[in-house]
Amino acid sequence: MLQNILLTREIYASEEHNMMREMIRDFIHNEILPQTDKWEKNGMVSREIWERAGELGLLCIDMPEKYGGSGLDFSFNALFIEELGKKAVSGPGFSLHTDIVAPYLLKYGTEEQKQKYLPQMALGKLITSIGMTEPNCGSDLRAITTSAVDKGDHYLVNGQKTFITNGFMCDMSIVAVKTNVGTEEEGVSLLIMESAWDGFDKGVPFKKIGMKAQDTCELFFDNVKVPKGNLLGKEGKGFKIMMTELARERLTVALNAIGGAEGAIENTIEYTSTRTAFKQPIAAFQNTQFKLAECATQLQLHQAFLDRCTQLLSEDKLTAESASMAKYSATEMHSRVVDECLQLFGGYGYMWDYPIARMYADNRVARIYAGTNEIMKLLIARGLFRE
Ligand SMILES: Cc1cc2nc3c(=O)[nH]c(=O)nc-3n(C[C@H](O)[C@H](O)[C@H](O)COP(=O)(O)OP(=O)(O)OC[C@H]3O[C@@H](n4cnc5c(N)ncnc54)[C@H](O)[C@@H]3O)c2cc1C
């Protein structure tokens, strides 16, 4: 089977990783998968699953214990992301919360901000999101128009965000806004905004072609008063912070993609070994074998590169270009693998009851979000021609 031929992955080989893997698998199998249908109908997961993940120490895994995290290194986050990908779990936006919002606070937050939000985040009692994209701009983030006007002890925020992961369930969002509009100091700043505040509204979760249990939605701000103490990092430095932190976000998308590809191949080996045509298993046809051999080869190549990237990220050395290569290449590979695998399921591959169908629908967005793959190539190319 697949595990017999893939190289041992040293980054996940310790006893602690094995124990964590077992725990994650039980959690997914017993507590997540049985709820998928219900969550897909509701367009969102339950708050209980967030709190359960918090109880198990699966949120904010690499955050220091003094803020309620598990104090482990990033490879444990990576393991969790891959395991979720393998089983096509796309409802709870755990990774966005753990791997994007928490590091923003940890790196750029004041002690007061960290104490207020991080322990609640680690417990899953405070769900978070990040609001960058707006109806009129996604790739070109400098063009955002949500504004924050300085009113002395607070900012007055007006504008709108869209396609926000965890948007409907979030209690807090890190929101990119324009400050000092029309002056020489005009720039992007980041504000920590609580969804219970007056003037902060949410749209209903979007109906998407995949990730149906994920509460992706719009956020609206109508004269929201944000205390000055909720500025994250320095005023006008938001764009730089986002560009620095996007490397980690891109790696997490790539990790989910290789987990997804592995899950798809495993599923397909199992299915084609039992389904028969012309009096033999589908797996006996050379076409099936060659297709799966190609998929397994691509998976292994990407695992090797991503293991290196994971290690570099843990050491704070992952470059924007390598993260972009990982995101672009792994998500393209994942799409190809899932497409080939679905074909080998025949008509059943098109049926929602089969995980391969969900994998097919879910994976498509990975080439679009966290920066489109075209933008990834732009960033890589920029590095190539930098003096
Ligand atoms: C399910 C989902 C979840 C999301 N979650 C979040 C979230 O939590 N927070 C958040 O802020 N955003 C989120 N997004 C938004 C996502 O990051 C954006 O959709 C993405 O960055 C692309 O922006 P856009 O949709 O505005 O596309 P556009 O920027 O309008 O791009 C349209 C097309 O033009 C191409 N293009 C644009 N510029 C160039 C260029 N210079 N060269 C070549 N081609 C170019 C793009 O690659 C794309 O193919 C999410 C999106 C989805 C679908």
Query: pLDDT digit string (tens) for 8-22?
Result: 999 999 999 999 999
Compute, in degrees rounded to 10, the torsion defined by CA atoms 367, 373, 375, 381: 160
CA 219 – CA 163 distance, rounded (Å)? 9
**AA identity, residue 38:** K
Quickly count: other Cβ atoms within 10 Å of residue 143's Cβ.
11
Compute CA distances 349 → 87, 91, 229, 334, 355, whole Å: 15, 21, 52, 16, 8
Q: How far is the CA of 101 from the centre of ligand 1 (A)?
A: 19
Q: Whose CA is nearest to atom 41 of ligand 1?
A: 375
Candidates 163, 190, 209: which one to mutate for ligand 1, based on the most atoms within 8 Å of Cβ? 163
Q: DSSP characters for 326-369?
A: HHHHHHHHHHHHHHHHHHHTGGGGGSTTSHHHHHHHHHGGGGTS
**Nearest Cα residue to 360 out of 375, 376, 345, 380:** 345
- Once rounded to an integer, what is the mean pLDDT over residues 316-320? 95
Query: Exposed, middle or buried by CB within 10 Å (0-12, 13-18, 19+), for 137?
Result: middle
**AA identity, residue 217:** C
Q: How far is the CA of 365 from the centre of ligand 1 (A)?
A: 10
Q: Whose CA is nearest to atom 11 of ligand 1?
A: 132
Is 249 known to be catalytic? yes
pLDDT at 1: 83
Q: How far is the CA of 94 from the centre of ligand 1 (A)?
A: 21
Domains of the chain: 2-127 (1.10.540.10), 129-234 (2.40.110.10), 240-384 (1.20.140.10)
Catalytically annotated residue among 82, 218, 245, 249: 249
Helices marked H in 44-73 — which ranges? Answer: 47-55
Burial profile 8-22: b = 16 or more Cβ within 10 angstroms, e = fewer: ebebbeeeebeebbe
CA 169 – CA 91 distance, rounded (Å)? 12
Q: How far is the CA of 364 from the centre of ligand 1 (A)?
A: 13
| Cβ–ligand 1 contact at 219 (below 6 Å) | no
Atom of ligand 1 nearest to the CA of 375: 47
Q: How far is the CA of 372 from the centre of ligand 1 (A)?
A: 6
pLDDT at 190 over 90: yes
| Cβ–ligand 1 contact at 6 (below 6 Å) | no
| Cβ–ligand 1 contact at 43 (below 6 Å) | no
Q: Is the separation of the CB atoms in 65 and 243 below 8 Å?
A: no
- Confidence tier at 387 by pLDDT (50, 70, 90): confident
Give me the count of residues in the chain: 387
Query: pLDDT digit string (tens) for 337-371?
Result: 999 999 999 999 999 999 999 999 999 999 999 99
Strands 147-150 and 172-179: parallel
pLDDT at 330 over 90: yes
- Once rounded to an integer, what is the mean pLDDT over residues 148-154? 97
pLDDT at 313: 96
| Cβ–ligand 1 contact at 165 (below 6 Å) | yes
Average confidence score pLDDT of the chain: 97
| Cβ–ligand 1 contact at 217 (below 6 Å) | no
pLDDT at 88: 95
Candidates 95, 129, 137, 139: which one to mutate for ligand 1, based on the most atoms within 8 Å of Cβ? 139
Q: Is the separation of the CB atoms in 188 and 236 below 8 Å?
A: yes
Percent of the chain topping pLDDT 70? 100
Query: pLDDT digit string (tens) for 275-292?
Result: 999 999 999 999 999 999
Percent of the chain topping pLDDT 90? 98
